[in-house]
Amino acid sequence: MPQSHTRTGILSRRSLIAMIPAVLLVQACSRKAGKADENWLAFGSGAETVDHAEWDAFLGKYVRPSPDGINRVAYAEAVKADRAMLAPYLALLQKTAVKDLPRDEQFAFWVNLYNAATVDLILQKYPVKSIKDIGLLGQGPWGDKRLKVEGRELSLDDIEHTILRPIWKDVRIHYAVNCASIGCPNLAAKAWRGDQLEPMLNAAAAAYVNHPRGFAMVDGSLVASNIYEWYEVDWGSPEQVLAHARKFATGAPAAVLASAKTIDSYDYNWSLNEVV
């Protein structure tokens, strides 16, 4: 391949390589939900539940709400105590007969599995500055088939894009799953449960919409989280994103969103959501 030179307006080989992680990340995040995985379209009619006590114990011990409104995780403390402490809980979830669970319990199951698997991955790789540092060329770990449920290998992307998003079709899913980043909606300080879904989803949505990493006025322009850009298709349009946000906004954010005509720009902080 002939050598290129940026001075002539052609990107150098080094520049092209540097662009790859950003391009791959946009491709990973900016997309429609995939076709619903038909293997997970059955729901139980009984009262079966899953024991999330181990996940509750971890969250209660290591998730620290900070003064800036962000739930941070004490990864360093957890690693020092036992890097593999979530292994038994993840093993329990992967042995669960998901199709026997009622619909709301399945939602809680998938969100807890996604979040616990993400935290476990950070514990295995810690210290890292960002979840994007895990995986090939800055792609992150989302496409790796790290889990097996009912004999089917699954990735974090599978859970989010072929199960949660297309089956439940609820934009509040984006406030429930957590990617271990400052810019992400908070990792819940307790396990998700089927009988608490509505209040938990609404609380998570309100917490994010009313926080500057959700929406903020900067130099007279409205800046929103990239989540609303990457997954705009789930809302429909920037105008529908704003209509959604107004339902949860209170106080000063409500005044800002009430007068907003459009979203001027987007931002996201990929730094690890760790206790500092």
For residue 7, pLDDT over 80 is answered with no
Q: Is 180 exposed, middle or buried (0-12, 13-18, 19+ CB in 10 A)?
A: buried
Residue 161 has a pLDDT of 97
- Distance, CA of 262 to CA of 145 (rounded, Å): 38
Whether 16 is in a domain gets the answer no
Kindly state whether residue 52 falls inside one of the protein's structural domains: yes
Domain containing residue 51 = 35-199
- 29 band by pLDDT with thresholds 50, 70 and 90: very low
pLDDT of residue 139: 82
Provide the residue type at 254 as one letter: A
Please report whether residue 223 resides in a domain: no
Residue 223 reports pLDDT greater than 50: yes
Tell me the DSSP string of 94-108. HTS-GGGS-HHHHHH
Q: Is residue 273 part of a domain?
A: no
Residue 116 makes CB contacts below 8 A (sequence gap 6+) with 55, 58, 86, 89, 90, 93
Q: Which residue has the higher pLDDT, 23 or 66?
A: 66
- Beta-sheet pairing, 71-73 with 63-65: antiparallel
List the single range of 26-30, 144-148, 219-223 with lowest mean pLDDT.
Answer: 26-30
When pLDDT is averaged across residues 52-59 and rounded to a whole number, the result is: 98
Which residues, including other chains, have CB under 8 Å from residue 200's CB and lie 6 or more apart?
A: 176, 188, 192, 193
The H or E element that residue 223 is part of is strand 221-225
Burial of 12 (0-12, 13-18, 19+ CB in 10 A): middle
pTM, whole model, 2 decimals? 0.89
State how many domains the chain has: 1
Residue 41 lies in a domain: yes
Tell me whether residue 116 is in a domain: yes
Mean per-residue pLDDT, 33-53: 94
Read off the pLDDT of each residue in 177-195 and give the average, rounded to a whole number: 98
| Domain presence at residue 123 | yes
Let me know if residue 180 belongs to a domain.
Answer: yes
The phi and psi torsions of 121 (rounded to 5 degrees) equal -60, -45
Tell me, what's the pLDDT at 31? 59
Residue range 184-194: average pLDDT?
Answer: 98
Find the mean pLDDT for residues 251-276.
97
What is the average pLDDT score of the chain?
A: 90
Q: pLDDT tens-digit profile of 145-181?
A: 999 999 999 999 999 999 999 999 999 999 999 999 9
